[in-house]
Amino acid sequence: MTTDLAHALDRLPRVALATLPTPLQEARRLRDALGGPARCPRILLKRDDLTGLALGGNKARKLEFIVADALQAQATVLVTTGGVQSNHARMTAAAARMVGLGASLVLTAAPDERDVQGNLLLDRLFGAEVHFIDAASDPLLATGPDEAAMLALVEAELRARGERPYVIPIGGSTPVGAVGYVSGTLELLSQLEAADERPSRLYVACGSRGTVAGLVLGAHLTGAPYRVHGVAVSGGDPAKTGRAVEIANQAAALLGSSLRLTPGEFDTDQSQIGAGYGRSTAGCLEAIELLARNEGILLDPVYTGKAMAGLVADIRAGAIGAAETVVFLHTGGAPGLFAHAAELTAAAGQPAVGQPAG
């Protein structure tokens, strides 16, 4: 089955943007900090923060297929949307430059969030046109209410200038993009087989759900030993789970598969959202510190910090047996750390779990 799937993937247009394969490594010191072998499962980190494109992240896998589709459509500029510190926007701008296209970004931000730092600084360095919209009144949501209207306006203005825009939904969450994580599943399974590992769970941050759609589809198409556990970083369920099902099923069709998923195949932990999208929690800040001080690896306050907080909470609650092995998919996001300097500095005043003071 995996051979047929690999052939189906090879038939789809793809542009090389990422440094692959990314490493799979065991977080031994993190395990010790969480209670050691008596209390904590083995934790394998799939390092998609090291995909290379514009400081790395999971979006590189999606963009390899999305940008190829844009080039086939003879686009001249990529247009996408996200929060002001969007990793997807940053990587889309970089991908556009790599293939000679322009980039136009619609970013959601309150007026006091528009300082040029973190991902926004990189957007500017890549020469992307940036259009701001105000944040939603509901802090749980990732984008503002004027997103669709601004996207339509930007697209119309680009066409009036003679450009051919290719609009990418938030997070690159399309069936074409999800195929990137079906391909990523094959890569991960090859590494697990080589290491003789059979993890029971895979943890990943859930935002716009395109990554988790590809992961769940990939797991079902390949008979992967693990179940995908998404950790939500923003509100919007059950509609977002419905969207993930739709994306996954359309991606399956692109690959020539008759498999169709249902909402029951998607596990999403809603406990780590906190006050809303882009707003860190105590658990998130602790998780960032845990991995930084025990493994020398950076998480971010928007996505991976909350996802790791979900894994840590499950370990402490005994929801995962100490004899199990789990995979944590590190989806990147380190540039966003610099937009949260004050809260991270305050949180770093205390030693991480498992570390002595001083």
Neighbouring CB atoms inside 10 A of 140's CB total: 16
Using alpha carbons, list the distances in angstroms from residue 234 to 146, 208, 241, 243.
18, 9, 12, 14
Residues noted as catalytic:
86
DSSP-H helix ranges across the chain:
2-10, 28-33, 59-72, 87-98, 118-125, 147-160, 175-194, 210-222, 239-254, 282-295, 304-316, 341-347
Tallying the residues shown for the chain, one arrives at: 358
Cβ-Cβ contacts under 8 Å for 210 (sequence gap 6 or more): 62, 171, 172, 173, 174, 177, 178, 181, 244, 247
List CB contacts of 124: < 8 A, sequence separation 6 or more.
116, 130
Q: What is the CA radius of gyration of the chain?
A: 20
- What b/e string do you get for 75-91 counting C-beta neighbours within 10 Å, with b at 16 or more? bbbbbbbbbbbbbbbbb
